[in-house]
Amino acid sequence: MSLPKPDNQTTTVVITGASSGIGAELARGLARRGFPLLLVARRRARLDELANEVGEDYSVGVEVLPLDLSDPRSRGKLAERLRSDPIAGLCNSAGFGTSGLFHTLPLERESEEVTLNSLVLMELTHAALPGMVERGAGAVLNIASIAGFQPLPYMAVYSATKAFVQTFSEAVHEELHGTGVSVTCLCPGPVPTEWAEIASAERFSIPVAQVSPRDVAEAAIGGMLAGKRSVVPGVVPKAVSMSGRFAPRSVLLPALRIGQRLRGGPSS
């Protein structure tokens, strides 16, 4: 057992980063299946708009909680909800990326990236799991990336945070064997979202590898329902993930560096 069948009392799914992209599509997909939702993001207006949409379209209960999870007090508030409420699912979708030469990027922004992509995800997972294990059912979805399968020049911090998410999620999933609780690691390839624009990451993506946010979310929800350890949506991203895991670093990293420069990436 992993994500239990929906009801209106004990199967709420919490989604961070719910105001756009994959997070918003997770909300739509879970609401379509009948799950009540707690939506978390910084932008209240976006959350309200999404809550009204899915509440009306699918007749599920939706609560919004506008929080900046990079702030310790804000994420502490959410962690307390995860500990005290009978939460059935947690989707850690909040995060962002940066691109460029690492030593030229603002350190404060890089540190915030590590916090939101890795530390916040770890803290919220830690808060949610005890109750799920006690109830014998529940599912956590952690958003990684195929970027985490190998070091990625010019997106050094982003790929490092996603490698952490993969390793952490798969290890905890194995620890939970036999409890009825799962941790699924979602590793999408390039997804056309607001995140890619913010990170200036379009030049690093391969158009043929792109998968829509809705298709990524549907694959993720399927993985949660099935209690899978990991999900890589799309044929091309699966192939890329295999090369990242098994290609020699001495060949892979220069190829990535040269390829990204040819696509308009920075030069030292």
Mean pLDDT for the stretch of residues 242-266: 67
From the candidates 35, 158, 164, 195, which is the catalytic residue? 158
pLDDT value, residue 46:
97
Angle formed by the axes of helices 21-32 and 213-226, nearest 10°? 50
Q: Is 90 exceeded by the pLDDT of residue 198?
A: no
Sign of CA dihedral 188, 4, 181, 69: positive
Do strands 62-66 and 87-92 pair parallel, antiparallel, or not at all (unpaired)?
A: unpaired
Q: Cβ(15)–Cβ(41) under 8 Å?
A: no
Q: Is the pLDDT of residue 199 over 60?
A: no
Residues 178, 119: Cα–Cα separation, whole Å: 26
* pLDDT score at 195: 52
CB atoms closer than 10 angstroms to residue 170: 17
Please give the Cα distance from 80 to 84 (Å, whole number): 6
User: In the chain, which ranges are continuous DSSP H helix?
Assistant: 21-32, 44-58, 72-84, 107-114, 120-135, 156-175, 194-198, 213-226, 235-246, 249-262
Cβ atoms of residues 215 and 233 within 8 Å: yes
At 50 the three-state DSSP class reads helix
Q: Which two tokens stand for residue 21?
A: 């992209």
Cα 202 to chain center, whole Å?
Answer: 19
Residue 197 is predicted with a pLDDT of 52
pLDDT band at 193 (very low <50, low <70, confident <90, very high): low
Q: What is the gyration radius of the CA atoms in the chain, in angstroms?
A: 18
At residue 221, does pLDDT exceed 90? yes
pLDDT at 133: 98
Whether residue 58 lies in the annotated active site: no
Three-class SS state of 34: coil
pTM of the model: 0.89
Segment (H or E) for 137: none
Query: From CA 153, how far away is CA 167, in angstroms rounded?
Result: 20
The predicted model gives 194-215 an average pLDDT of 65
pLDDT digits (tens, 9 = 90+) for 38-93: 999 999 999 999 999 999 999 999 999 999 999 999 999 999 999 999 999 999 99
User: What is the mean pLDDT of the segment spanning 153-178?
Assistant: 97
Inter-CA distances, 249 with 59, 68, 200, 213, 253, Å: 50, 37, 25, 30, 6
Nearest one of 1, 23, 30, 68 to 188, comparing CA atoms = 23
Model confidence pLDDT, tens digit, residues 119-150: 999 999 999 999 999 999 999 999 999 999 88
Q: CB within 8 A of 115, min separation 6: which ones?
A: 70
Place of tokens 């990436």: 265
Which of 72-76, 195-199, 250-254 tops mean pLDDT? Answer: 72-76
Mean pLDDT of 96-103: 95
What percent of the chain stands above pLDDT 70? 84
Nearest to 159 by CA among 256, 17, 261: 256
Confidence at 106, pLDDT banded by 50, 70, 90: very high
| Domains along the chain with CATH numbers | 12-262 (3.40.50.720)
